[in-house]
Copies of this chain bind each other. A is one copy, B any other.
Amino acid sequence: MAQKNTIRIAIDAMGGDFAPVNEIQGAISAFNSKSSDVDFEIIFVGKEDIINDAIAKLTPGNLKYTIFHTDDVVTMHDDPTAVIKKKKNSSLYKGIELLTNDNADAFLSAGNTGAVLSTATILLGRLKGVSRPTIGTFFPTEKNYPVFVLDVGGNVDCKPRFLYEFGVMGSIYISNMLGILNPKIGLLNVGEESSKGNEAALQAHELLSKSDLNFIGNIEGSDIFKVKADVAVCDGFTGNIILKFAESFVGLLKNRFRQFAKKNILNKIMIALFYPIFKKVLKDFDYQNYGGVPLLGVNGVVIIGHGKSSPLAIQNMIYKAIEQYQKDINKKIEKALNQNILQQN
């Protein structure tokens, strides 16, 4: 094992749609682009022969890595909650297990999101004060920085307390990772007034108002892109639907442009001219290039990537994992949640 200041990153080498190639290439790129004061080693978790074959075709250079062999693979179709019982020898399970016995400092996967969430929650346990681990994600905005929306990770029925905790976790994550001092926390709702919302939102508004957070109150669907808040808190039902809805927006635009181009040759030329601009301007809507999103609230650093994660996305996931580990964000979350509990009682 590496020395203490070398960060050990376990990668689910069987996870994404292009695994293990993109995972390995991403790790190599991360190593080649890293700053000199960062030191890490990779533990590729998965089928040894497949991983070795892939590495042989790439140029690992001086990348420090080991392979942790596992026979089984969790697919996108596996029931997330069944992994813990039925796929104990999968790369996903074993990779997370490496964290529990201090054989790795962070785990990342572009595999089955639900399976990572539920397996990590059970194997790693929750941070003290956390009711439900949560996945947050970044939405592009009108500004030159994104909004962090959480939960998008499947907490479909949320108690008010969960929403409050999402606010705390989001606040700490964003202030540390994006350097936004005292980030503005908004509760995604159907109106600005505190009297608006469903039962959970009404009570969450109260909890958030009483907290130490920089809570700016309710925000509406139209406020996300405008960055009225740096962190938008919502239940995972709403969060999942708006995330997938937002992801489909670029597809709608492409479709409309295609239809327009079909009408005549002039239209076709105009669209051809404009297309590169359109792609450039909406680059950050391409979620598969995103550098993964954190699973917050579990006792370990876990980063989840899009199934179609590119090598660049994997590289960014590695950097985010290192940063989250170095900044000890989990300890900060635990501290904040338990301070707040004391204050509220």
Contact = CB atoms under 8 A, between A and B. Distances in A.
Interface of A: 140-142, 154, 156-157, 188-190, 197-199, 201, 220-226, 234-238, 240-249, 251-253, 255-257, 259-260, 267, 270-271, 273-274, 277, 280-282
B255 A142 contact: yes
Given A241-B242, A256-B142, A282-B256, A190 B236 contact: yes
A263 to B, nearest CB: 11
A239 to B, nearest CB: 9
Contacts of A237: 189-190, 197-198, 201, 238
Contacts of A257: 281
A84 to B, nearest CB: 17
A150 B242 CA distance: 15
A240 B190 contact: yes
Contacts of A274: 270, 273-274, 277
B244 A222 contact: yes
A241 B220 contact: yes
A267 B201 CA distance: 44
13 contacts: A141-B252, A189-B241, A220-B240, A221-B247, A222-B247, A223-B248, A224-B245, A226-B248, A257-B281, A259-B281, A273-B273, A273-B274, A274-B277
Q: Which of A141, A154, A235, A241 has the most CB of B within 10 A?
A: A241
Nearest to A248: B222
Contacts of A201: 156, 237
A8 to B, nearest CB: 34
Given A221-B241, A260-B281, A280-B260, A156 B248 contact: no
Contacts of A259: 281
B246 A224 contact: no
A253 B280 CA distance: 12
A172 B250 CA distance: 31
A282 B260 CA distance: 11
Contacts of A198: 156-157, 235, 237
Given A142-B256, A201-B237, A249-B225, A242 B242 contact: yes
Contacts of A281: 253, 256-257, 259-260
A76 to B, nearest CB: 11
Given A157-B198, A225-B251, 12 more contacts: A189-B241, A197-B237, A198-B235, A225-B252, A226-B248, A237-B238, A241-B242, A242-B242, A256-B282, A260-B277, A270-B273, A271-B277
A181 B257 CA distance: 29
Q: Which of A189, A237, A240, A259 has the most CB of B within 10 A?
A: A237
